[in-house]
Amino acid sequence: MDNRFGIAESLQRLGVKSENLGSSTGETWFDSNKNYFPSVSPVDGAVIANVQETSSDTYESIISTAQVAFEKWRLVPAPKRGEIVREIGNALREVKADLGKLVSFEMGKSYQEGLGEVQEMIDICDFAVGLSRQLYGLTMPSERPGHRMYEQWHPLGIVGIISAFNFPVAVWSWNVALAWVCGDVTIWKPSEKAPLSGIACQHIVSKIFKKHGMPEGISNLIIGDYKVGEMLSHDPRVPLVSATGSTRMGKLVGKAVGERLGRALLELGGNNAIIITENADLDMAIRGALFGAVGTAGQRCTSTRRLIIHENVYEEVKNRLASAYGKLVIGNPLDEHNHVGPLIDQAAVEMYLQAIEKVKKEGGKAVVEGGVLNGAGYESGCYVKPAIYEAENYFEIVQHETFAPILYLIKYKTFEEALALHNGVPQGLSSAIMTTNMREAETFLSVAGSDCGIANVNIGTSGAEIGGAFGGEKETGGGRESGSDAWKAYMRRQTNTINYSTELPLAQGIKFDI
């Protein structure tokens, strides 16, 4: 393990050992399965630590503990639940540097992005604290005299969370911070490609719940491959499964949950575009496109995949992007002089190479050629060159999401054509337009504009604040997490009618006299 940046010390402070149990109800860590698997860093290709997989027997124990915990946790007043989440946010502040370093080293994103991911966790805890006093229902007039109608919200029970490798901790926190203040308990299956980040988080939060004398099983952890995720998806004792990942994975989860009439909150793939009009501030456009395309080595669901550029500024944008790409520094993400880290593993590298081969076969032309980096500092074999290709929106490869730093440039003539190109993909997560023209901007945000769940003006597609609901449309799944009224996904709505009169009139004026 490369310890030049103090990763070993950070692991120790976070409670991560060379061999780790992977199943927990909080205070209790289960040791019932001798099947260990390694967490391998894409930074240097070395094994960081080994993790024990969750067995089916252990899963049953965790479910039982979670069910008992829910019976007690739901009775804790919501503001008190919020106070505990507030302390979790403070605990995260104390370990921000160490946890950010682990996220960076285990996943491969830059250290600044790792710190930013932990800050997202802190921010959503702050948001949830306020939310704990704002789980509002409505009061509505009754048509019957002497009656009052209102609605209230109750917790669902056990919320299952399946998260992806690219955001090892932030997306989990979006779910649990809201679920906990809503009165739910949670079972988290982190990505098997970044399990140590999940173990570190469980250590952090379990101490806070224990400090407050809360029952074991409010925060639960299970670790393993897709088979462990299938336990959650198929389990009728888990009323809501929140899953983040590929569209293919989301369809499997959605089908399994739907067949048992459960709820699925799906955050799936994106194929995000920025429209750069002839009225754009090109300095801003280049900066927005650059981070959107190469940040996290193109492994964000909000990464910029397509640039739809007006023909009058196309050549200038292309040349300036090529120049900017030439200045990118690729290497160990813990070194803050580097802009781009590695892809997550060799399978991702192979997918990247196949996409480049595919776009070339379909007629794409290289603006900045891709390839795998070798030699000193690139021993893991997961470092690749961010690439740019001129393409057409109808290319099959352009219609699909490639989780890698590959950017496609597409030329347009009219604004109507740009909108059609933008919306002409199966995914609908994040979108942006770069323009100083108010009519273009407002049209892009109108019902006739972007068909995505997120639409931005003069900022890129990547990076979202927790105050707004996060999610997309079409093959992105339709779920919403984080801010706004996303909390409603974690609760069940109940409509109540109270008759305080001495009569019993029926609705709609129905008469039923005897």
d(C-alpha 259, C-alpha 294), whole Å: 39
Longest dimension (CA), the chain: 91
* Token pair recorded at residue 159: 């919320």
Catalytic annotation, pick one of 125, 182, 201, 301: 301
d(C-alpha 423, C-alpha 450), whole Å: 7
d(C-alpha 95, C-alpha 177), whole Å: 17
d(C-alpha 485, C-alpha 245), whole Å: 22
Catalytic annotation, pick one of 267, 401, 440, 475: 267
d(C-alpha 247, C-alpha 472), whole Å: 12
Q: C-alpha distances in angstroms, 447 versus 417, 419, 423, 443, 453? A: 16, 12, 12, 8, 12
Look up residue 447 and give its amino acid: V
Nearest to 33 by CA among 54, 12, 62: 54
Nearest to 336 by CA among 113, 65, 128, 167: 113
Look up residue 55 and give its amino acid: S
d(C-alpha 341, C-alpha 509), whole Å: 68
d(C-alpha 111, C-alpha 297), whole Å: 13
Catalytic residue list contains 301: yes
Per-residue DSSP letter, 413: S
Which of 60-88 are b and which e, b meaning 16 or more Cβ less than 10 Å from the residue's Cβ? Answer: ebbbebbeebbeebbebebeebbebbbbb
Over 493-513, what HEC string results? EEEEEEECCCCCCCHHHCCCC
Pairing relationship of beta strands 304-310 and 365-368 according to DSSP bridges: unpaired
d(C-alpha 112, C-alpha 406), whole Å: 22
Look up residue 278 and give its amino acid: E
* Token pair recorded at residue 379: 């021993």
Half-sphere exposure of residue 28, counting CA atoms within 13 Å on the CB side?
15
Catalytic residue list contains 125: no
d(C-alpha 433, C-alpha 436), whole Å: 10
* Token pair recorded at residue 408: 């496609």
If phi > 0 it is left, if psi is from -120 to 50 it is alpha, else beta; for residue 146 that is left
Nearest to 181 by CA among 206, 160, 159: 159
Name every residue whose Cβ is closer than 8 Å to that of residue 71 and which is 6 or more positions away in sequence: none
Q: Which residues are catalytic?
A: 267, 301
